[in-house]
Amino acid sequence: MNTVQSNSSAPSKLSPKEDRAPAAVLKGSVFTLPILKISRCELQEIEFDLTQSLAAALDFFNNAPLVIDLALTRDLEEQLDFPALKTLLAKHNLVPVGVQNGSAAQTAAARMAGFAVLTGQTIDKIIENSAHKSHVKETTPAASRQESSSVSAPPATVESTTQVIHQPIRSGQRVYARGGDLILLAAVNAGAEVIADGNIHIYAPLRGRALAGVTGDTEARIFCHCMDAELVAIAGSYRFFDNIPEEIRQKSVQIYLTGEQLNIKPLD
């Protein structure tokens, strides 16, 4: 009943024509990774600012693979200590995978420290901030609706994008529009999370959590058609709802920040 096939021939004799599933296949794929822009070489300063950005992003970058952009440090006199930088990032649960835009000396030092060297975007594109939000990208459900631990983001080569999502975001799902706005045309259900660096528009009930401006944009707003949220946040200022006040419950509202104050106002 139990048939065990033993193959006496050595592995080196296996030819591709033989009827066996390959144990290893090389394939090309495109990944989008967050970029850490470094403008100075003092590790203490880097750590201080990094801690602040990470706090604003909640736990979103936990174990995120990361590319270090060296464009702003390539002409500096001092040199970055790459092994120490690697340790520092690891301490904050970040996984640096490579560097880009470094000088020849930096690139060599990074290679020595075990970083991959990526050919990245041009310098002015990096310096430009995300003020221009013209490019709209339609995302397919499979690409944008990932399970909780994963992140969906637009390709690094596009300056900023808006994600439009047509399917409901269900309990346990999380959608993140990196570097842009998020527009949802179906419900965000209880236990789901929608997150954007920019604004969030929801033309359906919001029953889960919505976090806008997670990288610190205090001008970001949340607009929703039917307010039934568990939690809303803008640039780290949040409010959760045990009971939603009658005047905004299931109403069209906009949510914005004035100073530290989170305002939730009916739209009509």
Partner 1 sequence: MAKVIVVTSGKGGVGKTTTSASVATGLAKRGYKTVVIDFDVGLRNLDLVMGCERRVVYDFVNVIHGEASLKQALIRDKRLANLDILPASQTRDKEALVKEGVERVLNELRKTHDYIVCDSPAGIETGAVMALYFADEAIVVTNPEVSSVRDSDRILGILSAKSKRALDGDEPIKEHLLITRYDPNRVSAGEMLSIDDIIELLGIPLAGVIPESTSVLQASNSGVPIIHDENSISGLAYQDLVERLLGEEIPIRFITPVKKGLFKRLFGT
Phi, psi of 55 (to 5 degrees): -65, -40
Smallest distance from the beta carbon of 226 to partner 1, in angstroms? Answer: 11
Smallest distance from the beta carbon of 33 to partner 1, in angstroms? Answer: 21
Give the Cα separation of 254 and 221 in Å (integer): 7
Which residue in the set 62, 63, 171, 263 belongs to the binding site for partner 1 (CB under 8 A)?
171
Applying CB under 8 A, does 1 fall inside the site for partner 1?
yes
Task: Please say which residue, 88 or 186, places its beta carbon nearer to partner 1.
Answer: 186
Based on the number of CB atoms within 10 Å of its own CB, is 191 exposed (0-12), middle (13-18) or buried (19 or more)?
middle
Write the interaction track for partner 1 spanning residues 113-152; mark x where CB under 8 A is met and - where it is not: ---------------------------xxx--xxx-----
Smallest distance from the beta carbon of 249 to partner 1, in angstroms? Answer: 15
- Note whether 70 and 35 are within 8 A (CB): no
Applying CB under 8 A, does 251 fall inside the site for partner 1?
no
Other Cβ atoms within 10 Å of 207 Cβ, number: 19
Smallest distance from the beta carbon of 142 to partner 1, in angstroms? Answer: 5
Applying CB under 8 A, does 224 fall inside the site for partner 1?
no
Number of alpha helices (DSSP H) and beta strands (DSSP E) in the chain? 5, 17
Q: Helices marked H in the chain — which ranges?
A: 43-56, 82-91, 104-112, 123-127, 141-144
Applying CB under 8 A, does 3 fall inside the site for partner 1?
yes
Which residues of the chain form contacts with partner 1 (CB under 8 A)?
Answer: 1-3, 140-142, 145-147, 167-173, 186-187, 189-192, 207
